[in-house]
Structure 1
Amino acid sequence: MKNDAPWVAPLQQLPASLKPIAAMQQKHYGAVLNPTRWWGRMPRLFWLVALFVGFLERRRSPLSPELRALLMTRVSQVCHCDFCIDANSLRLAERSGAMEKVLAVADWRDSVLFTAQEQAALAYADAVSATPPRVDDALKTELTARFSTDAISEMTALIAFQNLSARFNAALEIPSQGLCQRAGHPDA
């Protein structure tokens, strides 16, 4: 951990209400995820956030799983969240089936790996993640040409959620856990 001041220290013992999620993380990742130990101070909020993530990750989302992972990875980079970059890079590698896109996300404007739809979504992620958000008319036109209004609304919610998560984690200096490396993706 970069800073071990008491106000940023993780919980050593999670509340009983978070034990099921901790067990699931332990089984899936081999460890309880670092943010769980910080969010665990607010179990009700943790579960609300988890439900929101579950909704965004549902099968019937108008956004493909790969596009969701791509956007989450980009927002993680914009917010400089070490944990989120690691976790979302792993998700993107799994969903895209390769590391090429993961490695190209930071320089997406100069890469030929992204479709026109993905480029529009990445431009939107950058614009929405700016402080204040900077979504111009040209980008709005591009988005409406490539996505339905439902997809744009959901994309906005996904980007806003990832900003919340990444900014929370980055502010508290929640460290990466090497998830992408452990899964055999050493370059993330």
Structure 2
Amino acid sequence: MKESNVAKKYPWYVKIFFWNQMRRYGQVLEPAKLWGRTPKVFAALALLYGAIDRRKSPIEPSLRSLITVRVSQINWCEFCVDINSMMVLKRGNSEEKLSDLESYKDSDLFTEREKAAINYAEAVTLSNKQVTEKDREWLAKYFSEDDVIELTGLIAFQNMSSKFNAALNVPPQGFCQIKR
């Protein structure tokens, strides 16, 4: 996306998010610069992300990261695949598991719980697919109703984020250098 010739001025509360990203990632994330152009929406989005990716979530961090990568792959978001792949590895998954993500159903690296959640993420994300009763029954073996609500929120958030970034052609920022 083309930057305007005039340097964009961001309100102080957006600059706090930028400072935190510099501290955490060594750079400000390109999507943050874009969302920052609508500061109130950006602040609400950041709060929502914080609520979804909290430590006490019933969905373990390693699984949340796998789901965000899979949704990002489906939505062709190179930035999201990049940063979320880094998180997959940081949260204890192997490079081999990350590489097998698109063929998770045939891989022995994934637990049945992970397969059920990733399958659900695909059903929610793909426009040519629908969540079936069979999908719901598979999920119910491993997740409570509240867990499924949380999982659905995560998937919906990642769909919004990856579609936003893909539509605006946000490039990867070099967070994960392995081949996927």
Give the number of aligned pairs.
Answer: 179
- The runs of at least 4 aligned residues of structure 1 exceeding 2 Å deviation read 9-14
Q: How does 1:158-169 map to 2 (within 5 A)?
A: 158-169=154-165
Cα distance in 2 for residues equivalent to 1:158 and 1:10: 36
The reply to whether residue 96 of structure 1 matches residue 92 of structure 2 is yes
8 Å contact from structure 2 (residues 104, 115) kept in 1: yes
- Quick one: structure 1 residues 160 and 132, their matched pair in 2 at CA, closer, same or farther if it must change by over 3 Å? farther
- Between the aligned partners of 1:11 and 1:72, the Cα distance in structure 2 is 34
Query: How far apart are the structure 2 equivalents of 1:119 and 1:89?
Result: 17
| Contact 1:12 1:37 survives alignment (8 Å) | no
Q: Is the 8 A contact 2:62 2:93 kept in 1?
A: no
Cα RMSD between the aligned structures?
Answer: 1.9
Aligned to 2:153: 157
**5+ residue gaps, structure 2:** none
* Residue type at the aligned position of 2:78: D
Pairing 1:106–2:117 present = no
Identical pairs, percent: 40
1 CA distance for matches of 2:166 and 2:5? 14
**2:47 aligned to which of 37, 46, 51:** 51
Report the equivalent of 1:125.
Answer: 121
2:8 aligns with 13
In structure 2, do the counterparts of structure 1 residues 73 and 12 end up closer, same or farther at CA, with 3 Å as the change threshold? farther
Gaps of 5+ in 1: none
- In the superposition, relative to structure 1, how do residues 54 and 133 fare at CA in structure 2: closer, same or farther (>3 Å)? farther
**Equivalent in the alignment of 2:29:** 33
SS at match of 1:180: coil
Deviation at 1:130, TM superposition (A): 1.5
What TM-score does the superposition give when structure 1 sets the normalisation length? 0.89
Cα offsets for 1:25-79 (capped at 9, x unmatched): 1122111101011111111111111111111111221110111111111101010
